[in-house]
Structures are given as structure tokens and as C-alpha cells.
Amino acid sequence: MTRLIVADAYNDARIDVFLSENIDGLSRNTAQRIISEGHVTINNRGITKNTRLKTGDEVVCITPSPTPSEAEAEAIPLDIVYEDADIIVINKPQRMVVHPAAGHHSGTLVNALLHHCGDSLSGIGGAQRPGIVHRLDKDTSGLIVVAKNDAAHSSLTNQLANREIGRIYQAICLGNIKKDSQDVNVPIGRHPQDRKKMAPITHEKRKSREALTHISVLERMPRFTLIEAKLHTGRTHQIRVHLSYMGHPVLGDLLYGLKKPPLGLTSQVLHAKKLSLRHPSTNELMDFEIPLPDYFLQALEKVRRVT
């Protein structure tokens, strides 16, 4: 961690310029990246790469450990739902990170895929994200599709952009959702203070992207609700942000919900249960559905007993 006080010479300077000129070996591009990842604060507040400094500001920069240039293959078991020459559909377990990043250089889905598929993964995602078309959060379990060649990757990416890939999740939420069915149509952008979080954006002047989630109630309990969430867009943390915005955060979500969740459940109970897409080569409509995993069923059993 580096702590710096802004001198008069850098009054009104951009933060990325200041960091690159005051931390040995830190390029301006790297400075912009770590700012966007939330590793830099000014006076204990989150910032953007365009933030201007004032004399006397306290800048704290946490430089992440360097990420390997390429992910390495690891013999990690995979729960394969479907596989052919173009795609592989995986049931990702809870607590598995999708691709290597700062703090998670091994044990990821990509490491496992490289061992299973060898060189037969799309290169479009780059050395750290080969074949990855979309992602799931570390603590979200369930279905994810991976491209095994560039043509398949392009097809799936276009389907995502055109909202032709169906993704349906189930979650346990805090509280009792009153409406049986509703759309949450609230734009999402980066949180203004905490760069690791996303946030609902209701102010026109703040940068955001359209986000639409359809919520259906499956079961109501005295203090919890089992819901199904259908994504119409695919923003970072979309379901978690929208449910928190409704006042019903996902059970166990420490980022958008209670810091001390009930029943000692400290990992979010959120599962990608259904996935639909058109096969990149045949254009056949393919539907996948998997059962709720054990951790989810155990949580459901616990919340049903709460009065």
C-alpha cells in the first residue's frame, strides 16, 4: 500500500497522471486499471480516473499483485451439463471464480477448462478469459456456457447483445415480496463511493446502463421469499442490485445485504438454474435446466423453519 500527500505542483492534476509519476514502475494505463478496480481512494473516498486532485489530498493506492500473462491448466473436476465441438455448458459450483484476476490466480473455472479442453477454447476472451462469454459471481452457482472456438464465441456474444440468450435464476430473499410478479427496470452503474460495488442509478447525470429484471415469487415464508429472476439485460451484479433496491436483498449477500445475515448464511443463495441459447452451428434452440444444489436446498430448509 502506498500513501501519498498531494503537493502544490499537482493541484488540479488528474489522479492517473499523479500516480504514474509518483509510484515507481506504475504506468498510466495500469494506474487507470487499478483506479477502475477500486484500489485507489482520495481522502477515503472512491474515485474515477478523471478525478482531479487538490493540494493536501491524501491518496491511498493498493497495487494488486501482478496477474500471470496466461492462465494455467489445472486438474479441477467439472460438472459438465453439455459439450460438443462448439460449446461446453458447465454447472459452476458456489465459491468458484470464473477467470483469473487479482487475488485469484488459480482454482478458477478457466484453469479447469484449460485442463479439460486443452487448446480448444476460443481465444477472443484473451489469455486470462479464453472462451468466456458471460460470467457468474464467485458465490453464484449454476449454468454458464463457454465457447470452444471463435465462431461460436462471436455467435454467443451476438446472442447476448441481442437479448436472445435466456438466463433464469432462483434466489432466497430477505423479507416478504408482496407482488407475485414484477419488472425491475432501474439503470445500474458503478457505486459513487465504493468502486467494488454497483448501484441503482436514478439520477440522469450519472453514468449508467439500462438494466431490466423480471421477478416472480415462487414461495413466501414469514421472513423470506423464494423467487425466480429472469435477466433481460446482463449488468454486473444485476439481480443482487435490483433485489437490494427493492428492499429484499439476497440472503447471505454481504455486499448488498446485511453484514450479519440471519441463520449464519454468509454466502449468497443465488443459483443460475436455466439457460437457453441457439447453437452456434445448427441454430437449434437449446434449453438447459439443473436442480438446486445442496447448499441452496439446505438454506431453503432452514428458512422454512423460521417463524
User: Annotated catalytic sites, by residue?
Assistant: 137
Backbone angles phi, psi at 112, to 5 degrees: -70, -40
- CA 34/CA 54 separation, integer angstroms: 20
Report the C-alpha gap between 39 and 1 in whole angstroms.
10
HEC readout, 126-176: CCCCCCECCCCCCCCEEEEEEECCHHHHHHHHHHHHCCCCEEEEEEEEECC
Among residues 96, 101, 167, 164, which one has the least CA distance to residue 128? 101
How buried is residue 152: exposed, middle or buried, by Cβ count under 10 Å (0-12/13-18/19+)? buried
Q: Which three cell numbers stand for residue 2?
A: 502506498
Spatial distance between the Cα atoms of 40 and 4, rounded to a whole number of angstroms: 11
Q: Identify whether the C-beta of residue 132 lies closer than 8 Å to the C-beta of residue 125.
A: yes
Contact status, residue 172 vs residue 143, Cβ threshold 8 Å: no
Contact 114, 134 (CB under 8 A): no
DSSP-assigned letters across all residues of 59-87: EEE--PPPPPSS---------EEEE-SSE
Q: Name the grid cell of 11.
A: 493541484
